[in-house]
Structure 1
Amino acid sequence: MGSLFGGAGGGHGGLWWRPFESQKRQGRRRSSKPSDSVDRTNGGGGYRFPLKQALTAGSLAFAGDTIAQLSERYRKRNALSDSGFSKDIMWMLCSNHDWLRALRMASYGFLLYGPGSYAWYQYLDHALPKQTVENLLLKVLLNQIVLGPSVVAIVFAWNNIWLGKFSELPNKYQKDAIPTLITGYKFWIPVSALNFWVVPLQARVAFMSMGSIFWNFCLSATMSK
């Protein structure tokens, strides 16, 4: 896992040329503060950005939004007319693509969902380390009442801010937040159970991001009907 902050323990690389007395003094300083190198190595002394999870979430968010856009245009074009559909299908699917929307979702995945959800999964594993049925059910419950509403709230805010519609955000929450959560529970509760039961910690962000691709595809299909 990559780290954007922190580095190798400083001041230790030039000990080989120092006089013996300097080495003893340096050794005493190290022994008096044993946590320095441990903290730097293990991330205890600073924030370690989960670069791998952020890149994974950002890439899959970009792919998921692209698939959703393509499926929306496919359904619309197919519903309008079948004539000449096979000739211009590739042009139709690739034209008028909202790249800013896809990049907006990719930035959300990279900056917010990837790091945030990974930190949340780390916390749950730390608080509930035993792989029991009780802990599994509690993790799923906490995931739905904490992470679920947080994701919905942040996604709505992220999109409205980028679109310059921040003033419309309260109305967006009032109108769409609860229906989105209730509909999502039907899909995300079993997916979350599978995620906590069989998926290792390092792969959970990727697994849930893949689930988001499938969820967005099904959601767009339902809304088109």
Structure 2
Amino acid sequence: MHVLGGGGHGGFWGWDSLPKKPKQQRKRFDSKSSNSVEANGGPCFRFPLKQAVTAGSLALTGDTIAQLRDRWRKANTLDQQSSGSTPTSQDVTQVLLSDHDWLRALRMTSYGFVLYGPGSYAWYQYLDHALPEKTVVNLLLKVLLNQVVLGPSVIAVVFAWNNLWQGKLSQLPDKYRKDALPTLLYGFRFWIPVSLLNFWVVPLQARVAFMCVGSIFWNFCLSSTMSK
């Protein structure tokens, strides 16, 4: 209305009383629609779609590599036991393109999309907010927190997610006892140097993508552990 009326005291067409009520209504509407923090009484959550898609895609890639390796090993072992010869290229192609476990692939992809992508994005934002200065001490603290908080959380969640999909929640405690600690300790050797590079060199907006690229290897390890 100020644009149409030139912004003077008369408002639109010199009417002074009419704009008051619409102005108040518009103010309430704008504050309610644009400022969700005040309207909802809490912070506005935006689902990090880009990070979720990236994590889901790379989780699928890691699982695919794991499945291809498992089928290759199985076919190679069976062929050598039956004929004592190396499998031909036609046999290899047939093995690699058949019997893909799409449900297993969906489990890992949904884990990356729903849980790992959004969760790790929020975690890295929190670390940068809590430790904003780029110092050696903060770098080491971030790496340490990443290993003692995010690492065990990821393993706990992915094990539970996998058993939930398979309807084997009753077997989850045994899965934790058997595989959680070895997986975590193995992950330390990989993720500590990757985390150092991630926090020291990679900007915040690219950290989930960078860690997800590293997760191709890690998802390969997780997927192999899940299939045991």
8 A contact 1:61–1:109 mirrored in 2: yes
- For residue 46 of structure 2, give the secondary structure of its aligned residue in structure 1: coil
Partner of 2:144: 141
Q: Distance in 2 between the 1:167 and 1:76 partners?
A: 29
Q: Which runs of 5+ in 1 are unaligned?
A: 1-11
* 1:145-172 Cα distance to aligned partner (Å, 9 max, x none): 1100000000100001111110011111
Q: Which residue of 1 aligns with 2:209?
A: 206
Does 1:128 find its partner at 2:131? Answer: yes
Structure-1 separation of matches of 2:155 and 2:4: 55
TM-score between the two structures when normalised by the length of structure 1: 0.80
Q: Which of these residues, 112, 115, 124, is aligned with residue 115 of structure 2?
A: 112
Alignment partner of 1:160 is 2:163: yes
1:193 aligns to what? 196
Kindly name which structure, 1 or 2, has the bigger radius of gyration based on alpha carbons.
Answer: 2
TM superposition shift of 1:40: 4.7
How many Å apart are 1:83 and its aligned residue? Answer: 3.7
Aligned equivalent of 1:51: 49
CA offsets per residue over residues 71-98 of structure 1, 9 Å max, x none?
A: 2212332344344421221110011110
Alpha-carbon distance in 1 for matches of 2:224, 2:112: 22
2:59 partner letter: A
Counterpart pick for 1:69 among 51, 67, 70: 67
Q: Secondary structure at the match of 1:61?
A: helix
Matched, 1:39 2:42: no
RMSD of aligned Cα (Å): 3.1
Q: Tell me if structure 2 keeps the 8 A contact 1:36–1:45.
A: no
CA contact 1:39–1:45 (8 Å) conserved in 2: no
One-letter amino acid of the counterpart of residue 65, structure 2: I
Distance in 2 (alpha carbons) for counterparts of 1:51 and 1:109: 11
The answer to whether the 8 Å contact 1:54/1:113 transfers is yes
> Percent identity of the aligned residues?
66
In the aligned structure 2, how far is the partner of 1:91 from the partner of 1:108? 29
Structure 2: which 5+ runs fail to align?
6-10
For this pair of structures, how many residues does the alignment match? 207
**Structure 2 residue 104 is matched with structure 1 residue 101:** yes
When residues 45 and 184 of structure 1 are mapped into structure 2, their CA distance, relative to the original with a 3 A threshold, is closer
Q: Relative to 1, partners in 2 of residues 1:35 and 1:86: Cα closer, same or farther, differing over 3 Å?
A: same
- Tell me what 1:5 maps to: none
Q: 1:220 to 1:24 in 2, by over 3 A?
A: closer
Q: In the alignment, is the contact (CA less than 8 A) between 2:142 and 2:199 conserved in 1?
A: yes
CA separation in 1, counterparts of 2:176 and 2:159?
8
Instruction: Say which SS state the counterpart of residue 45 (structure 2) adopts.
Output: coil
Question: What's the offset of the Cα at 1:211?
Answer: 1.0
SS at match of 2:89: coil
Between the aligned partners of 2:68 and 2:53, the Cα distance in structure 1 is 23
Q: 2:174 aligns to what?
A: 171
